[in-house]
C-alpha cells in the first residue's frame, strides 16, 4: 500500500538530553511539503560530530533531536515542485547542503552555505517546522539530515541523487567522514607526489585522509594515534609509519620533525583537540609546511598560537567537508567507489542494527571505530 501523502510510523533513535543513551522508539514522520523529500534511510555512519553534539561540545543543540548526518537511502515520496529526484531514486543526504544562491554558495572557494544548520543546530526544515514527532510531541532535525531514523524528510537542497548500483552501506560515508578526510587532502592541501604527510587521529576522517595522501603520491605518510590498534589498518590504507605519542619520550612534534628531516610538508588534525592542533602545526616544516585543521574542538576551547609558527612561512587552514561542493561533487566520488578507485568498504569496521546504536557511540567514544555503519533498512 502506498505511503505517499500519509504519516509514516517508523523507528528512530532519539536523543533527549546530553550524555544520555539514545532511545530507539516509534515516531511519526509527516509527508514532505513543497520542495521537500521523504527518504527511507538504508544506512548511516556514526561520525564523531554526532558524539560531539551529544556530549555538549557544540554551542547549541535543541532536544529532543534525531542525530545522524552521514546517510544514504531511497526516495519514498516527494513534495510538490521537487525536480531533483523522484520516488525510488537512490540518494545521499547532505549535511552540507548548498542553496546555490547565497554569497558563500556562489563563491568558487566556498561550500559553506548560509542556509546550512551546521553548528547552529536550530533543528528545523527551511520553513522552521519539523516533520518528526513522537506521540504528537515535536522532535528536532539535525544538520538538515537526521539519519538515525528509518525515514527522514529533507529540503530539496539537502539531497544528491546517485547511481542505483552503488552500495548504500558504503557510500553513506561520502555524506560526511570520507569526503571530509579525503577532500581536505585533495582539495584544501592539494598534496603533491613525493611529499611527507602526518595525520593526527586515525578514525574515519583520519583514515580517509591517509587514503588520499597515498593516492596523491606522498612517499612518507605518518599516522599518529594513542590507540595502536588503529595502526595495522592505517598501514593497509597507506601509512608508511605509525607513532603512538604515549610511547615517545620527546614531544610528538619533535619526533615527527626528526622523522621528516625538518618537518612534514603537510599536517592534518583529525581529532578535535586544540593541543593536538598545535602539535600538528609544529610538526610541519617551519618554512613551507601546510597545516590543516579538520577536527572540531569543544566550542569553548581556543587555539592559542605563537605567531612565529606562521610568519616563518607555514600556512594554516581549516576545511569543512573537505571543501567539496557536496551536491556537485558527490556523484563523482560515488563513481570512484564503483570503479574501485576508492575502497570505502575498508573504512567500515562494524555494522550495527538501529537497536544497537548506543554500542556504536561507545566505540567512537573509546577511539575504537574507524567507521560504524548503522543499518536501518534494505537497499
Ligand atoms: P574518531 O573518534 O573516529 O577518531 C578520532 C581518533 O583520534 C581515534 O582513533 C582516537 O584514538 C584518536 N585520538 C584521540 N585523542 C588523541 C590524541 N590526543 N592524540 C592522538 N590521537 C588521538 O573521529 P572522526 O574521525 O569521526 O572525527 C574526527 C574529528 O573530525 C572530530 O573532531 C569530528 O567532529 C571532526 C569532523 N570534522 C568535519 C569537518 O568538516 N571539518 C567533518 C566531520 C567530522
Ligand atoms: Zn560528520
Question: For residue 293, how far is its CA from the centre of ligand 1 (angstroms)?
Answer: 11
Task: Look at the block and give the residue holding cell 602526518.
Answer: 198
Residues 92 and 147 in one domain: yes
Residues 188 and 170 in one domain: no
Residues 37 and 166 in one domain: yes
Q: What are the pLDDT digits (tens) for 169-189?
A: 999 999 999 999 999 999 999
CATH of the domain at 77: 3.90.180.10
In terms of Cβ atoms closer than 10 Å to its own Cβ (0-12, 13-18, 19+), residue 240 is middle
Residues 24 and 118 in one domain: yes
Question: For residue 360, how far is its CA from the centre of ligand 2 (angstroms)?
Answer: 14
The range of the structural domain enclosing residue 265 comes to: 180-320
Give the CA diameter of the chain: 67
Domain-located, residue 185 = yes
Residues 165 and 40 in one domain: yes
Rounded distance between C-alpha atoms, residue 303 and residue 238, angstroms: 30
Q: pLDDT band at 346, cuts 50/70/90?
A: very high
Residues 125 and 141 in one domain: yes
Ligand 1 neighbour 227 (Cβ under 6 A): yes
Ligand 1 neighbour 52 (Cβ under 6 A): yes
Residues 273 and 364 in one domain: no
Q: What are the pLDDT digits (tens) for 62-83?
A: 999 999 999 999 999 999 999 9
Cell of 260: 621528516
How does DSSP assign 321-374, residue by residue? GGG--HHHHHHHHHHHHHTTSS-GGGGEEEEEEGGGHHHHHHHHHTT--SEEEE
Question: For residue 247, how far is its CA from the centre of ligand 1 (angstroms)?
Answer: 20
Instruction: Tell me which ligand sits closest to the C-alpha of residue 226.
Output: 1
DSSP state letter for 320: S
Mean pLDDT for the stretch of residues 15-29: 98
Mean pLDDT for the stretch of residues 205-217: 98
Task: Give residue 6's pLDDT.
Answer: 97
Ligand 1 neighbour 176 (Cβ under 6 A): yes
Which residues lie closer than 8 Å to 149 by C-beta, 6 or more apart? 10, 11, 12, 13, 27, 29, 41, 66, 68, 132, 376
Mean pLDDT for the stretch of residues 97-119: 94
| Residue 378 in this model has a pLDDT that exceeds 90 | no
- Between helices 252-259 and 274-283, what is the axis angle to 10°? 30
Domain-located, residue 112 = yes
Mean pLDDT for the stretch of residues 214-235: 98
Beta-bridge partner residues of 200 = 224, 269
| Residue 211 in this model has a pLDDT that exceeds 90 | yes
CATH of the domain at 190: 3.40.50.720
Domain-located, residue 85 = yes
Rounded distance between C-alpha atoms, residue 303 and residue 293, angstroms: 11
Residues 43 and 99 in one domain: yes
Residues 163 and 17 in one domain: yes
Which residues lie closer than 8 Å to 193 by C-beta, 6 or more apart? 216, 217, 218, 219
Ligand 1 neighbour 295 (Cβ under 6 A): yes
Domain-located, residue 325 = no
Instruction: Tell me which ligand sits closest to the C-alpha of residue 173.
Output: 2
Task: Give residue 275's pLDDT.
Answer: 98
Count structural domains, the chain: 2
- The answer to whether residues 237 and 371 touch, using CB atoms and an 8 Å cutoff, is no
Ligand 1 neighbour 321 (Cβ under 6 A): yes
Percent of the chain with pLDDT over 70: 100
CA distances from 351 to 182, 228, 253, 338, 346 (A): 22, 22, 35, 20, 13
Residues 42 and 155 in one domain: yes
Q: Which atom of ligand 1 is nearest to the CA of 49?
A: 34
Domain-located, residue 243 = yes
Residues 234 and 93 in one domain: no
Residue nearest (by alpha carbon) to ligand 1 atom 43: 177
Domain-located, residue 24 = yes
Task: Give residue 249's pLDDT.
Answer: 96
DSSP state letter for 7: P
Ligand 1 neighbour 276 (Cβ under 6 A): yes
Residue nearest (by alpha carbon) to ligand 1 atom 3: 203
Rounded distance between C-alpha atoms, residue 314 and residue 297, angstroms: 22
Question: For residue 112, how far is its CA from the centre of ligand 1 (angstroms)?
Answer: 21
Question: For residue 177, how far is its CA from the centre of ligand 2 (angstroms)?
Answer: 5
Which residues lie closer than 8 Å to 285 by C-beta, 6 or more apart? 260, 262, 263, 264, 265, 314
- The answer to whether residues 71 and 173 touch, using CB atoms and an 8 Å cutoff, is no
Beta-bridge partner residues of 141 = none
Ligand 1 neighbour 213 (Cβ under 6 A): no
Residues 121 and 35 in one domain: yes
Mean pLDDT of the chain: 97
- The answer to whether residues 349 and 371 touch, using CB atoms and an 8 Å cutoff, is yes
Task: Give residue 1's pLDDT.
Answer: 78
CA distances from 163 to 89, 206, 340, 371 (A): 8, 26, 14, 22
Task: Look at the block and give the residue holding cell 603520491.
Answer: 217
Q: Which atom of ligand 1 is nearest to the CA of 293?
A: 41
Domain-located, residue 335 = no
3 state SS of 308: helix
Ligand 1 neighbour 271 (Cβ under 6 A): yes
Rounded distance between C-alpha atoms, residue 84 and residue 156, angstroms: 7
Task: Give residue 119's pLDDT.
Answer: 86
Ligand 1 neighbour 142 (Cβ under 6 A): no
Domain-located, residue 370 = yes
| Residue 128 in this model has a pLDDT that exceeds 90 | yes
Ligand 1 neighbour 204 (Cβ under 6 A): yes
Amino acid at each position: 500500500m502506498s505511503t505517499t501523502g500519509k504519516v509514516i510510523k517508523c523507528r528512530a533513535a532519539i536523543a533527549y538530553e546530553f550524555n544520555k543513551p539514545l532511545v530507539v522508539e516509534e515516531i511519526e514522520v509527516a509527508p514532505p511539503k513543497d520542495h521537500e523529500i521523504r527518504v527511507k534511510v538504508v544506512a548511516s555512519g556514526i561520525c564523531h560530530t554526532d558524539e560531539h553534539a551529544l556530549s555538549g561540545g557544540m554551542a547549541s543543540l535543541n532536544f529532543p533531536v534525531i542525530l545522524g548526518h552521514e546517510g544514504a537511502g531511497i526516495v519514498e515520496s516527494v513534495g510538490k515542485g521537487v525536480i531533483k529526484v523522484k520516488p525510488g531514486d537512490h540518494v545521499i543526504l547532505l549535511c552540507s547542503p548548498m542553496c546555490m544562491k547565497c554569497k558563500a554558495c556562489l563563491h568558487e572557494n566556498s561550500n559553506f552555505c548560509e542556509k546550512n544548520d551546521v553548528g547552529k543546530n536550530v533543528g528545523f526544515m527551511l520553513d522552521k517546522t519539523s516533520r518528526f514527532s513522537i506521540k504528537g510531541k515535536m522532535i528536532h532535525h539535525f544538520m538538515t539530515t537526521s539519519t538515525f531514523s528509518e525515514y527522514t524528510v529533507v529540503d530539496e537542497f539537502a539531497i544528491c541523487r546517485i547511481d542505483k548500483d552503488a552500495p548504500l552501506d558504503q557510500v553513506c560515508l561520502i555524506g560526511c567522514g570520507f569526503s571530509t578526510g579525503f577532500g581536505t587532502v585533495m582539495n584544501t592541501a592539494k598534496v603533491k607526489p613525493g611529499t611527507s604527510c602526518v595525520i593526527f587521529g586515525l578514525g574515519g576522517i583520519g583514515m580517509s585522509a591517509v587514503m588520499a595522501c597515498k593516492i596523491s603520491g606522498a612517499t612518507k605518510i605518518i599516522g599518529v594515534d594513542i590507540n595502536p590498534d588503529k595502526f595495522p589498518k592505517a598501514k593497509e590504507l597507506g601509512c608508511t609509519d605509525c607513532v603512538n605519542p604515549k610511547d615517545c619520550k620527546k614531544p610528538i612534534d619533535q619526533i615527527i620533525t626528526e622523522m621528516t628531516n625538518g618537518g612534514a610538508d603537510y599536517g592534518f588534525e583529525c581529532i578535535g583537540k586544540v593541543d593536538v592542533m598545535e602539535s600538528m602545526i609544529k610538526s610541519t616544516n617551519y618554512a613551507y609546511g601546510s597545516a590543516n585543521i579538520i577536527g572540531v574542538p569543544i566550542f569553548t576551547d581556543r587555539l592559542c598560537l605563537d605567531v612565529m609558527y606562521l610568519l616563518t612561512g607555514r600556512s594554516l587552514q581549516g576545511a569543512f567537508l573537505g571543501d567539496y561542493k557536496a551536491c556537485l561533487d558527490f556523484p563523482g566520488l560515488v563513481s570512484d567507489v564503483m570503479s574501485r578507485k576508492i575502497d570505502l568498504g575498508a573504512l567500515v569496521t562494524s555494522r550495527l542494527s538501529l537497536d544497537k546504536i548506543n554500542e556504536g557511540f561507545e566505540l567512537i567514544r573509546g577511539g575504537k571505530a574507524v567507521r560504524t555503519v548503522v543499518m536501518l533498512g534494505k537497499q
